[in-house]
Amino acid sequence: MRGENPDDRHLNQFFHCEAEILGTLEDLVPIMEGYIKALSDTFLAMEPLISRMSKDYKKTKNALEEISKVKSFKKISFDTAFKKLQLDKTTKKYTKQTKFGRDINSEGEVALARDEADNMPLWMYGFDRDTVAFYQKPDPKNQERTINADLLFPALIDGGFGGEIIGSSQRQDSPDEMKESLKRQSISPKPYEWYIDLRNQPGYRTTAGFGLGVERFIAWSLGYSSIRDVALYPRLKNVRTIP
């Protein structure tokens, strides 16, 4: 459930596929890639239905087949991605600096997947620490970056959905680091004390997790521009849909 106004990338109520594993982000990446390949294979097996729903099934089919065949998706650090976008006048507008750190918008994400990964999904990793959730683990090599990765998708057709569809990270295993992240983001630690205390329990081990926006993947694969076009039913803020 979300509280903000819906747009082409966000719904007030949406389907989110989430998973958490024992292990690091490095352990998680093959699982996420395998999941995307499994989804692609499933969509290909549903050709009679998907071909009727897709804006351009030839492009949908080609993209899904390429994903099924690739061994692993390319990667780019957030630092490198941000610098590349800023160096080009046409893409500099896709970046901005906020009080919490640097940001790349969805148009920039689409451009990166197109230009850096030959129109295939692209991992972007190592975001600025204060721009992501407080439970994401800071990189021991650089405390201003986190051990995280978003999977960016190119738009299948002009105006089609693209950008981040999967977000993932290695979770915080240090109560002190987590409290520091909360403080840096001006968030009260009180509601999260139980969550922080889990790290002090006997046998606690490092975990990593991801979330995939189901409507986002469907909109991308069918070439739609908005996830509102693939929602099962209207989920609108402050609008009563049932008499």
What is the CATH classification number for the domain harbouring 118?
3.30.930.10
Number of separate domains in the chain: 1
Tens digit of each residue's pLDDT (9 = 90 or more) over 174-216: 999 999 999 999 999 999 999 999 999 999 999 999 999 999 9
How far apart CA 163 and CA 150 sit, in angstroms, is 9
- Which structural domain, as residue segments, surrounds residue 110? 28-171+206-230
Asked if residue 178 belongs to a domain, the reply is: no
Residue 180 domain flag: no
Q: Are 25 and 149 in contact (CB under 8 A)?
A: yes
Residue 236 lies in a domain: no
Pairing type for strands 16-22 and 148-153 reads unpaired
Span between the terminal Cα atoms of the chain, in Å: 22
Is 191 domain-assigned?
A: no
Euclidean distance between CA atoms 130 and 221, whole angstroms: 32
Q: Are residues 129 and 145 in contact, defined by beta-carbon separation less than 8 angstroms?
A: yes
Q: What is the pLDDT along the chain (243 residues), one digit of tens a residue?
A: 666 677 788 777 788 899 999 999 999 999 999 999 999 999 999 999 999 999 999 999 999 999 999 999 999 999 999 999 999 999 999 999 999 999 999 999 999 999 999 999 999 999 999 999 999 999 999 999 999 999 999 999 999 999 999 999 999 999 999 999 999 999 999 999 999 999 999 999 999 999 999 999 999 999 999 998 888 776 677 777 666
Note whether residue 114 is domain-resident.
yes
Within-domain flag for 21: no
The answer to the question of residue 10 being in a domain is no
Give pLDDT, residue 11.
78
Q: Is residue 11 assigned to a domain?
A: no
